[in-house]
């Protein structure tokens, strides 16, 4: 997946970056539609899961208190996420390659002036992002069922986690994801169909508190 992400940038995303911020977004959106349709042709729309091939860890749990249990697989996912975010933090803050990524993200033209190869930086960043997404997809496949068109739903949750945690905030994204998961779990306790809605309500509440909600829309133009 690292190699795939590297090639993806050099063949598709590099040209779109030259056309502005919106073009790469449209390019990846179109690419996701192509991938979904190819998966439908190759694997059919049947629901699948990898949970049956991972042993007892998918069903094991620990009882913390009366009425509160912790999933063993959930703990494994949390530990892996903490290790991964810690490694990313060290990489971005303490290595030359990480500094180059941060400088390029801040201002690619200025980074070029000081000798940073922004083309290579973007390719490595894409490779890293695709690899991390693949790891997340692996855990999703073990934890629940999936089909060729499951991607957009997970993308919505990922977007909400980033907004809740704060754009550009690495640890905030992790906290945002945990908050979203807790909200969905509490919503499921009220009613199984309220699980996803609870997460969306949390996202809406963060938007209202952080960006002023309707007050920003209704503010008079001077």
Domain for residue 89, yes or no?
Answer: no
Domain for residue 164, yes or no?
Answer: yes
Q: pLDDT tier at 5 (50, 70, 90 boundaries)? A: very high
Residues 86-107 have pLDDT tens digits of 999 999 999 999 999 999 988 8
Q: Are 179 and 164 in contact (CB under 8 A)?
A: yes
Strand partners of residue 127: none
Domain for residue 43, yes or no?
Answer: no
The domain in which residue 159 lies consists of: 150-213
The pLDDT score that the predictor gives to residue 222 is: 47
Four-residue CA torsion sign, 183, 189, 191, 195? positive
Q: For the CA atoms of the chain, what is the radius of gyration?
A: 20
pTM of the model: 0.80
Domain for residue 83, yes or no?
Answer: no
Domain for residue 53, yes or no?
Answer: no
Domain for residue 115, yes or no?
Answer: no
Residues 26-50 have pLDDT tens digits of 888 888 899 999 999 998 888 888 8
Domain for residue 171, yes or no?
Answer: yes
Domain for residue 220, yes or no?
Answer: no
The pLDDT score that the predictor gives to residue 213 is: 53
Output helix, strand, coil percentages for the chain, rounded to the nearest 5.
75, 5, 20
Residue with tokens 């620990």, as numbered in its chain:
62
Tokens of 131: 């690899």
Residues 132-165 have pLDDT tens digits of 999 999 998 888 888 988 888 888 888 999 988 8
**pLDDT surpassing 90 at residue 23:** no
If one counts the domains in the chain, the total is 1
**pLDDT surpassing 90 at residue 72:** no
Buried b (16+ CB within 10 A) or exposed e, 157-173: bbebbbbbbeeeeeebb
């Amino acid at each position: 997946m690292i190699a795939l992400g590297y090639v993806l940038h050099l063949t598709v995303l590099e040209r779109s970056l030259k056309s502005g911020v919106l073009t790469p977004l449209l390019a990846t959106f179109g690419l996701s539609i192509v991938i979904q349709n190819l998966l439908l042709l190759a694997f059919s729309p049947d629901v699948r899961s990898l949970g049956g091939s991972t042993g007892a860890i998918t069903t094991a749990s620990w009882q913390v208190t009366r009425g509160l249990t912790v999933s063993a697989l959930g703990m494994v996912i949390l530990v892996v996420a903490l290790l991964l975010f810690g490694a990313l933090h060290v990489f971005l803050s303490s290595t030359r390659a990480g500094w180059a990524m941060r400088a390029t993200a801040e201002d690619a033209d200025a980074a070029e002036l000081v000798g940073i190869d922004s083309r290579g930086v973007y390719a490595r960043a894409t490779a890293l992002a695709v690899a991390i997404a693949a790891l997340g997809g692996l855990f999703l496949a073990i934890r629940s069922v999936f089909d060729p068109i499951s991607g957009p739903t997970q993308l919505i949750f990922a977007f909400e986690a980033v907004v809740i945690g704060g754009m550009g905030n690495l640890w905030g994204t992790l906290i945002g994801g945990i908050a979203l998961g807790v909200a969905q779990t509490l919503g499921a306790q009220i009613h199984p169909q309220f699980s996803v809605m609870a997460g969306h309500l949390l996202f809406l509440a963060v938007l209202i508190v952080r960006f002023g909600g309707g007050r920003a829309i209704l503010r008079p133009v001077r």
